[in-house]
Structure 1
């Protein structure tokens, strides 16, 4: 760390950009000649904007004659020694990239903004930026498509700034709920897009179950917002026939809501609970699908107790 609070770390051993496996301070012996400065401390949460710089940019000013000679030499060598040429490409990239870097068009800075869920290394990998990248042969359009194919990224922009800089701007999707389908649980965005697998950090998100439940997450959220003091007792919302909701209560009681105006049914449930503690009784379900009516299904024990309490006919 230098006097300005910046972390200095080696990202490559050449003129490219090879991000480390994890951000940290490497021993002095591990530093290669080319170094990168990470400007500013990355916040643990919230979108960030950061720029990677080489302390020693790629050398410039080599003549076209040298580049042409290099190109011809490498090509001839590759034609003669096919296996060695493939090894050269794997190590240095294509001949065009190699020549462009020799002319000073290697990537010496990458600026990324809008990122919070994904790591810098993940973004660089998706964008296809590494130590073999050169600006003339870098396909910004393909990089944008690759970034937007990642479910966490809603929108991406990639720009090339000559001679040696790439700018990546992204808009991430934010996890808004958990969705269970066929036994698998995914974190989903507000638009229903599955963006991640289940992780501990998502446990507090609203939980919906069933076909189409993810696409109606906003409806379930509205029901939760209207549930007042019942909200901590609601475990999940089950989408039934992709038409209506059944609420799963922590006590095990099912609350069946109507397809039309479920918010009015929620208001009825609140009234019943406040007046008679309906959900604390020995019941299995509350059916609110008929407007203005409340049907309750008793547990087997409660039903047996009710039957036993009924007056019995006296034989004459």
Structure 2
């Protein structure tokens, strides 16, 4: 009689069953598939870089590879092109750029170069980019001076935002621009320009605008005449003065000060000669009455 074959039991073993149940846990799968390989790589890296000589050879190989890439002709920057700058500013831009061309584009810090250019007083904004053909192009938005500002340090050209553009040696170098004087006068350049536009009828007599106490303006004319403007709404007050001048030639008379600080009630201050003449006339009239 032949021995009977033992049938295979399809049920898993207890160990296999436990391992399969363990594998169903997300944390176990994460550690096995990601954590363990990362730990092995980290240990291998620590072992490799703990050897100073090996680390030096790796650094040298990386540096040599970078130098070979940087030396490729398609990455070479051969020329510098600056647009939107006046000749004087063009020279300053080239100085702060301080480029030794030809150079590799990998060795140029375009962002840092833009910061250096924008920090120039005469530059409002700048765009720095590498173009095809190995050219580094710097596009400049230059500040346009609109007034001359006199302060304790001297004369400065300022733009529409009151930003100092450049130092001025003497007033006669820019007679086409209005003069503003006083503390924080550059902070109120738009208002100053508005006042100067309203005074176009007497612009040949205007010497400048003086900021008083960082609060209001005095419009200074020739012949020592001054128009004192209010802190708020100086434009309408000046319009009243201009209307009086057109109707009565106010500013052609012996008037030293036109005080418009109270916009509804102008006050005139006569010159010394006019006051003496007025006194003389009053004395004569009083003598005649007697």
Same fold (TM over 0.5): yes
State how far apart, in whole Å, the 1-side matches of 2:87 and 2:146 are.
13
Structure 1 stretches lacking a partner, 5+ long: 1-67, 73-95
Structure 2 stretches lacking a partner, 5+ long: 1-59
Could you give the per-residue CA deviations for residues 267-311 of structure 1, whole angstroms, max 9, x where no partner exists? 211122122222122232111111232211122222122112113
Aligned to 1:187: 157
Aligned to 1:136: 106
Higher relative contact order (CA 8 A, sep 6+): 1
State how far apart, in whole Å, the 2-side matches of 1:183 and 1:280 are.
35
Structure with bigger helix share is 2
Of 233, 244, 258, the residue aligned with 2:216 is 244
Q: What TM-score do the two structures reach when normalised by structure 1? A: 0.63
Aligned to 1:262: 234
In structure 2, relative to structure 1, the CA distance for the partners of 1:206 and 1:117 (3 Å cut) is farther
Of 214, 225, 234, the residue aligned with 1:253 is 225
Aligned to 2:13: none
Could you give the per-residue CA deviations for residues 164-204 of structure 1, whole angstroms, max 9, x where no partner exists? 33121221111111111115110001000001111655321
Q: What's the offset of the Cα at 1:101?
A: 7.5
Aligned to 2:148: 178
Equivalence map 1:138-287=2 (5 Å)? 138-161=108-131, 164-182=134-152, 184-198=154-168, 202-287=174-259
Q: CA RMSD in A?
A: 2.9
In structure 2, relative to structure 1, the CA distance for the partners of 1:234 and 1:171 (3 Å cut) is same
In structure 2, relative to structure 1, the CA distance for the partners of 1:165 and 1:117 (3 Å cut) is closer
State how far apart, in whole Å, the 2-side matches of 1:284 and 1:176 are.
29
Instruction: Please say if residues 135 and 162 of structure 1, whose CA atoms lie closer than 8 Å, have aligned partners that are also in contact.
Output: no
State how far apart, in whole Å, the 1-side matches of 2:153 and 2:269 are.
27
State how far apart, in whole Å, the 2-side matches of 1:297 and 1:100 are.
80
Q: In terms of Rg, which structure is larger?
A: 2
Q: What's the offset of the Cα at 1:259?
A: 1.3
Alignment partner of 1:295 is 2:267: yes
Q: What's the offset of the Cα at 1:232?
A: 2.0
Q: What's the offset of the Cα at 1:121?
A: 3.4
